[in-house]
Amino acid sequence: NVDSPLPTDFLFGTASSSYQYEGAYLSDGKGLSNWDVFSHTPGKIIDATNGDVAVDHYHRYLEDIELMDEVKLNSYRFSISWARILPKGRFGEVNLAGINFYNRLIDALLLKGIEPFVTITHFDIPQELEDMYGGWLSPQSQEDFAFYAEVCFKWFGDRVKYWSTFNEPNLQVSFGYRTGLTPPGRCSKPFGNCIEGDSEFEPFIAAHNIILSHAAVVDIYRTKYQREQKGKIGIVIQTAWFEPISNSTADKRASERALSFTFKWFLDPIVFGKYPSEMQDILGSILPKFSKIEMMKLQKGLDFIGINYYSSFYVQDCIFSTCPSGEGVTKTEGLYLINMEKNGVPIGKPTPIGWSIYPQGMEKVITYIKDRYNNIPMFITENGYGEMDNPNATLEEHTNDVERVQFLEDHLNALFVAIRKGADVRGYFAWSLLDNFEWMFGHTRRFGIYYVDNSTLKRTKKLSASWYKNFITEHKTEALR
Say which of 130, 168, 363, 438 is annotated catalytic.
168
Give dist(CA 319, CA 317) in Å, integer: 7
Residue closest to 57 by CA, chosen among 79, 42, 83: 79
Q: Which of residues 437-466 bind ligand GCO (CB under 6 A)?
A: 438, 447
Give the x/- contact pattern for ligand GCO in 111-150, rule: CB under 6 A.
Answer: ----------------------------------------
Write out the H or E segment, with its range, that includes residue 236.
strand 232-244
CB atoms within 10 A of CB 291: 9
Count of residues near ligand GCO by CB under 6 A: 11
Q: Which residue is nearest to ligand GCO (CB)?
A: 168
Question: Is 382 one of the annotated active-site residues of the chain?
Answer: yes
Interface region with ligand GCO, contact rule CB under 6 A, candidates 166-174, 179-187, 299-307, 334-342: 166-174
Give dist(CA 114, CA 35) in Å, integer: 28
Question: Exactly one of 17, 141, 179, 213 binds ligand GCO (CB under 6 A); which one?
Answer: 17
- Told to check if 407 binds ligand GCO by CB under 6 A, we report no
Interface region with ligand GCO, contact rule CB under 6 A, candidates 97-105, 163-171, 336-344, 367-375: 163-171
Asked if residue 98 lies in contact with residue 81, where contact means CB atoms within 8 angstroms, the answer is yes
Q: Which of residues 264-293 bind ligand GCO (CB under 6 A)?
A: none
Give dist(CA 385, CA 364) in Å, integer: 19
Nearer to ligand GCO, 52 or 294 (CB): 52
Give the orientation angle of helix 202-220 with respect to helix 140-156, to 10 degrees.
40
Interface region with ligand GCO, contact rule CB under 6 A, candidates 142-150, 164-172, 195-203, 467-475: 164-172
Nearer to ligand GCO, 179 or 308 (CB): 308
Nearer to ligand GCO, 201 or 310 (CB): 310
Give dist(CA 411, CA 394) in Å, integer: 28
In sequence order, what are the residues at sequence separation of 6 or more whose Cβ sits closer than 8 angstroms to the Cβ of residue 228? none
Rg (CA), the chain: 21
DSSP calls for 319-372: -GGGS---TT--TTTBTEEEESEETTEESSPBPTTS-B--HHHHHHHHHHHHHH
In sequence order, what are the residues at sequence separation of 6 or more whose Cβ sits closer than 8 angstroms to the Cβ of residue 16? 57, 76, 77, 78, 79, 432, 433, 434, 436
- Told to check if 355 binds ligand GCO by CB under 6 A, we report no
Nearer to ligand GCO, 168 or 333 (CB): 168
Asked if residue 164 lies in contact with residue 218, where contact means CB atoms within 8 angstroms, the answer is no
Asked if residue 383 lies in contact with residue 351, where contact means CB atoms within 8 angstroms, the answer is no
Amino acid occupying residue 321: S
Phi, psi dihedrals of residue 310, rounded to the nearest 5°: -130, -35
Q: Is 181 helix (H, G, I), strand (E, B) or coil?
A: coil
Nearer to ligand GCO, 172 or 226 (CB): 172
| Virtual torsion, Cα 41, 44, 50, 55, nearest 10 deg | -160
Give the x/- contact pattern for ligand GCO in 168-207, rule: CB under 6 A.
Answer: x--x------------------------------------
* Residue 17 beta carbon to ligand GCO: minimum distance, rounded to whole angstroms: 5
Nearer to ligand GCO, 240 or 282 (CB): 240
* Residue 171 beta carbon to ligand GCO: minimum distance, rounded to whole angstroms: 6
Question: Is 168 one of the annotated active-site residues of the chain?
Answer: yes
Interface region with ligand GCO, contact rule CB under 6 A, candidates 81-89, 100-108, 165-173, 221-229: 165-173
- Told to check if 431 binds ligand GCO by CB under 6 A, we report yes
Nearer to ligand GCO, 15 or 287 (CB): 15
Nearer to ligand GCO, 269 or 386 (CB): 386
- Told to check if 308 binds ligand GCO by CB under 6 A, we report yes
* Residue 78 beta carbon to ligand GCO: minimum distance, rounded to whole angstroms: 11
Question: Exactly one of 81, 167, 199, 312 binds ligand GCO (CB under 6 A); which one?
Answer: 167
Question: Exactly one of 115, 363, 382, 387 binds ligand GCO (CB under 6 A); which one?
Answer: 382
Asked if residue 241 lies in contact with residue 365, where contact means CB atoms within 8 angstroms, the answer is yes
Alpha helices, DSSP H, located in 40-139: 57-70, 82-85, 96-111, 127-133
* Residue 18 beta carbon to ligand GCO: minimum distance, rounded to whole angstroms: 10
Say which of 128, 333, 382, 387 is annotated catalytic.
382
Nearer to ligand GCO, 35 or 58 (CB): 35
What is the contact surface with ligand GCO in residues (CB under 6 A)? Answer: 17, 20, 167-168, 171, 308, 382, 386, 431, 438, 447
> Looking at the annotation, which residues are catalytic?
168, 382
